[in-house]
Amino acid sequence: MRDLLRRLLRQRKAAVGGSILLGFIVLALIGPWLVMDPTELVGRPHQPPSSAHWFGTTGQGQDVLAQTVVGARETLAIGFAVGALVTLLGALIGVTSGYLGRRVDDVLTLTTNVFLVIPGLPLAIVLGAYLPSGPFRMVVVLSLAGWAWNARVFRAEAMALRNRDFVSAAFVAGESRSRIVVRELLPNMASLLGSSFIGNTLYAVGAQVGLEFLGLGDVGAVTWGTNLYWAGNDAALLTRSWWVFVPTGVCIALVGFSLTLLSSAIDEVTNPALKAPLVATTAVRSARSSSADAAPPSGALLSFRDVCIEYATERGPARVVDSVSFDIAPGEVFGLAGESGSGKSTLGYALLRLLPPAASITQGRILLNGTDVTALDETALRAYRWSQVSMVFQSAMSALNPVLTLGDQFHDTLAAHGRTTRAAAHARARELLAMVGLAPQLVGAWPHQLSGGMRQRVGIALALALEPKLVVMDEPTTALDVVVQKELLQRVLELKQRLGFAVLFITHDLPLLLALSDRVGVLQGGKLVELDTAERLRTDARHPYTRLLLSSFPHLSAADAQVPADVTRASSERAPPQAAAQGGGR
C-alpha cells in the first residue's frame, strides 16, 4: 500500500486529481468557518453576483457562496463514508464468497444478486420512510444500494487468487480461513481496494446529489444536492439566475473529474500494461528488396539473415537481437541457447510475427523457403502462421483456453485455416492426442483436468495440427519435472522423425539442447556468439560464454542427457554423446 502511494505521488494524473480533491477537502474542513451562515436570509432573492455577495443570492435570499462552501462538507463526508463502507462491505463479502466457495458462496452470491436487481431509487424512497432523515440515512441507503457490484468484483479476484501457492501455503501452515481472507487475500488486492474506493466515492457523490436533487435527501441540510434542489424549486432556471446553480455544478464536476483522474492513475500505476504503449517508429527497413539474395542457401528451410530487433523503451531504442544469422535445414532440430533475457523468445516471436508493438525488426530478413516472413501482409500472415510455422508456448496453462474443451480448441485452430466440421475436427483431435501419447477420450476434457505434462502434450498436438514445416518450442519443458520433460522430448523427436518437421528449440538449458539438437546456436546479449553442431559443442565449445553455460548445469548426469539423444541419433552414424560431453564444459 505504501509503495502504491509512493508511485502515485510520481504520477501526473494522480498529482492533478489529488490536488483538486485535496483542495476540496481543505475547503470542506475549514471553509464553513470562513463564510457566513448559509441559511441566513441576507438579501433580496435572485440577486446576481455583487461585491457584498460574490456568488449572488438564492431564490430565498441566501448567500450562494456560503451555501456552496458549506455544502462541500456534508457532500464529501457522505461520499467518502459511503465509498469506504461500500468498498469494505463488498470486499469482505466478495472475498469470503470467492475464497470459501461451496455453500457460503451460493448464499452470498444469491444475496449479492438480489441486491443487484433492486433498483436504488425505490430502495431509497422505502428506506426514507423508516429511517430518520439526515446524513446517516443517506449513508445507509447508498451503501445498501452500492455494495453488491463490489462484491462481484472482489469475488472474481478472490477466485483468481485462491489457487495461488501462497494461499495454499498459508492454509497448510494452519492459518484460519478468516485470517487468510484478512491477511493473505485482502492485502494482495491493495490496488483493487484503492481504485474501488475512489470509484465508489465517485458513485456516492453522484448518487447522493441525484437523490437530494429529487428531494429524497434532507432538504433542510446544506449540501450540493439540496442546493440544486432549491435552485430548481425556486425556479432559478426560469429566472435565468445561473449563479445559483453554476457554482455548485462546477464543484460537483471538479470533484468527479479529480476522482476519475485518481482512479485512472491507480489503474496505470498498478498495471503498467495500461500505459500508452510505446510503438517502434523505426519499423521501415531498407534491405527488403533485392531478390537476388532472397533464395535460401542450398537446402535451408529457414534462414535468419543478419536480423536486428529493437524495443522502443522510455530510454530510447534497445537492441535485443543483434545481427543474428543462422539457417535451419528441413527436419533439423536447431537449438537456441542463452541465459534469460538474451533475446531467444524475441527471435522466436519475430519468426511468427508475434512481436509486441514496441518491437521492430530494424535490419535483416527471415526467409522461409525463400519467402521473406518479415514482409508478409495480414492475409499472407494468416496463411503462414501455424500451417507453415507453429509454436509450443512455455506456459501450457495460459496457452490453453480454460473455458474450451480440448476438442473445441482443436476445432478453433483447424477451422481458422479451412473449412471443417466440429465432428471432423474432433476426429482429427483424437488422432493428434493419440499421436502425442494421450488418451483420445480426452477430447472432451477441460484444460484444468490435465497435469502440466499432459497440457504441454496438448500444446504440441495443437502445434502439429496443420502439419507445419517448422515448430518453434520456447522453453516447452521448463515448467515440467525432469522425468516428464524427458518423456515429452522423446515423443517430440519420435514425431519429428515420423512427420519430418524441423524444430527451433529454445531453452536456457544448454546441456539439454546439446542432447537433443543437431546444431546449437548460443545467444549472449542478443548476439550469436557460437554456432556449431551439438557434437562439437559438447566436446569443444570455444566461446567462454558457452563453456559457462555448460558448467552452470552440473546436476545433469550423462544418463539424463543421453536418453533423448539416443532417439535423435538412432539412425545416425554419429557416436552417441559420452560423458565427455560433461568434461568439455567443465
Q: CA separation (Å) from 238 to 56, 230, 234? A: 16, 13, 9
Exposure on the CB side of residue 55, measured as CA atoms within 13 A: 22
Cell of residue 328, nine digits: 535451419
- 341 is in the binding site of which of ligand ADP, Mg ion, none (Cβ under 5 to 8 A by kind)? ligand ADP
Comparison of 453 and 526: residue with beta carbon closer to ligand ADP: 526
Beta carbon of residue 409, minimum distance to ligand ADP (angstroms, whole number): 25
Comparison of 367 and 506: residue with beta carbon closer to Mg ion: 506
Residue 523: is it exposed, middle or buried by C-beta count within 10 angstroms (0-12/13-18/19+)? Answer: buried
Comparison of 450 and 489: residue with beta carbon closer to Mg ion: 489
Candidate residues 338, 364, 459, 476; the one interacting with ligand ADP per rule CB under 6 A: 338
Helix (H, G, I), strand (E, B) or coil at 175: coil
271 binds ligand ADP (CB under 6 A): no
Beta carbon of residue 473, minimum distance to Mg ion (angstroms, whole number): 11
- 298 is in the binding site of which of Mg ion, ligand ADP, none (Cβ under 5 to 8 A by kind)? none
343 binds ligand ADP (CB under 6 A): yes
Candidate residues 113, 133, 178, 313; the one interacting with ligand ADP per rule CB under 6 A: 313
Contact range with ligand ADP by CB under 6 A, out of 161-169, 290-298, 340-348, 450-458: 340-348
Placement of cell 538474451 in the chain: 342
Contact range with ligand ADP by CB under 6 A, out of 109-117, 243-251, 334-342, 384-392: 334-342
Contact range with ligand ADP by CB under 6 A, out of 218-226, 311-319, 457-465, 493-501: 311-319
- Residue 38's nearest CA partner among 67, 58, 61 is 67
DSSP character for 276? P
Comparison of 341 and 583: residue with beta carbon closer to ligand ADP: 341
Comparison of 47 and 345: residue with beta carbon closer to Mg ion: 345
346 binds ligand ADP (CB under 6 A): yes
199 binds ligand ADP (CB under 6 A): no
Comparison of 196 and 345: residue with beta carbon closer to Mg ion: 345
- Report the alpha-carbon distance of residue 63 to residue 55 in Å, rounded: 7
311 binds ligand ADP (CB under 6 A): yes
- 320 is in the binding site of which of Mg ion, ligand ADP, none (Cβ under 5 to 8 A by kind)? ligand ADP
Handedness of CA 489, 494, 495, 500 (dihedral sign): positive
345 binds ligand ADP (CB under 6 A): yes
Beta carbon of residue 544, minimum distance to Mg ion (angstroms, whole number): 23
- 305 is in the binding site of which of Mg ion, ligand ADP, none (Cβ under 5 to 8 A by kind)? none
- Report the alpha-carbon distance of residue 586 to residue 581 in Å, rounded: 9
Placement of cell 494524473 in the chain: 13
- Residue 126's nearest CA partner among 46, 211, 47, 245 is 211
Count of CB atoms situated within 10 Å of the CB of 211:
22
Count of CB atoms situated within 10 Å of the CB of 116:
14
- Report the alpha-carbon distance of residue 434 to residue 425 in Å, rounded: 14
The DSSP bridge partners found for residue 371 are 368
Helix (H, G, I), strand (E, B) or coil at 54: coil
**Contacts with ligand ADP, 348-367, as mask; x by CB under 6 A:** --------x-x---------
Contact range with ligand ADP by CB under 6 A, out of 162-170, 176-184, 337-345, 396-404: 337-345
- 381 in Cβ contact with 562 (< 8 Å): no
One DSSP character per residue, 62-119 reads -BHHHHHHHHHHHHHHHHHHHHHHHHHHHHHHHHHHHHH-HHHHHHHHHHHHHHHHS-
- Residue 476's nearest CA partner among 461, 498, 497 is 461
Give the amino acid at 92: L
Comparison of 8 and 523: residue with beta carbon closer to ligand ADP: 523
Comparison of 311 and 386: residue with beta carbon closer to ligand ADP: 311
Beta carbon of residue 390, minimum distance to ligand ADP (angstroms, whole number): 18
- 399 is in the binding site of which of Mg ion, ligand ADP, none (Cβ under 5 to 8 A by kind)? none
- 194 is in the binding site of which of Mg ion, ligand ADP, none (Cβ under 5 to 8 A by kind)? none
Comparison of 341 and 370: residue with beta carbon closer to ligand ADP: 341
Contact range with ligand ADP by CB under 6 A, out of 194-202, 223-231, 341-349, 486-494: 341-349
Beta carbon of residue 320, minimum distance to ligand ADP (angstroms, whole number): 4
Q: Which residues bind Mg ion (CB under 5 A)?
A: 345
Candidate residues 13, 53, 344, 457; the one interacting with ligand ADP per rule CB under 6 A: 344
> Alpha helices of 330-478 — where are they, by DSSP H?
344-352, 378-384, 396-399, 406-415, 422-435, 452-464
Beta carbon of residue 11, minimum distance to ligand ADP (angstroms, whole number): 20
- 358 is in the binding site of which of Mg ion, ligand ADP, none (Cβ under 5 to 8 A by kind)? ligand ADP
Candidate residues 163, 281, 289, 340; the one interacting with ligand ADP per rule CB under 6 A: 340
Q: Angle at CA 160, nearest 5°, toward 155 and 166?
A: 115
- Report the alpha-carbon distance of residue 329 to residue 351 in Å, rounded: 15
Comparison of 139 and 355: residue with beta carbon closer to ligand ADP: 355
Query: Integer distance in angstroms from the first to the last C-alpha of the chain?
Result: 47
Contacts with ligand ADP by CB under 6 A lie at 311, 313, 318, 320, 338, 340-346, 356, 358
